[in-house]
Structure 1
């Protein structure tokens, strides 16, 4: 797999692929319609992880952020293609999302997930608020990276 490029240009993100991933393989979105996937993507900030292949750019990961662009964001629909897992795609996506959100000065970035807790902790997300979920708040700029904002 070549270098990973993350884009927030929705025109470069194949929503048919995203729909297939989410509706058939993502426990939180099983059965989600193509129309819902597209509406959610258009109403949010969407990020696609791309790698170069002989046929052009191949989508290998996706993440979506719901935000008011002032105080709060929810990182959701993070998905990495099975063939690309363990190759840094998830980290590249989360890093790009956080870099894109940083200039907004948000006080909180939240996510809820049953898995990949170690990945999110490496990027500053906190301990689970519930034993089955990682409910994470990104520290405010004034807080230390080890202390989540509350």
Structure 2
């Protein structure tokens, strides 16, 4: 599968590059899509004289969003950010039982991320859908499997 890539500038002049993928996963007898979006935000560059020094010291912000719907867990959404080795993440589960299950395992996830060398600043699970998306991105497939 190929990815969709696009680049643009944010309001403050940062370069925002986005890659989107849809990966088919086998779940029992079904094929379900795993939608993945990676974003890299590069701060705006300074004048030409500071270019090399600034490039070495600038901090890239990485974001990843995942969306999938696995039986019996239901629709899940993950949003994570990585900046200077500090990770923060939010998880959303539409089913209350799934949200409770994930919330009960967050300490284990936090410890495994720390063991991998990341500093975890925030990690939460909520029931529902992410506020930035008024709808579930899984309602629309990115790859037409009948084409």
Which of the five TM-score ranges fits, normalised by the shorter chain? 0.3 to 0.5
More helix by share: 1
TM-score by length of 2: 0.32
TM-score by length of 1: 0.32
More strand by share: 2
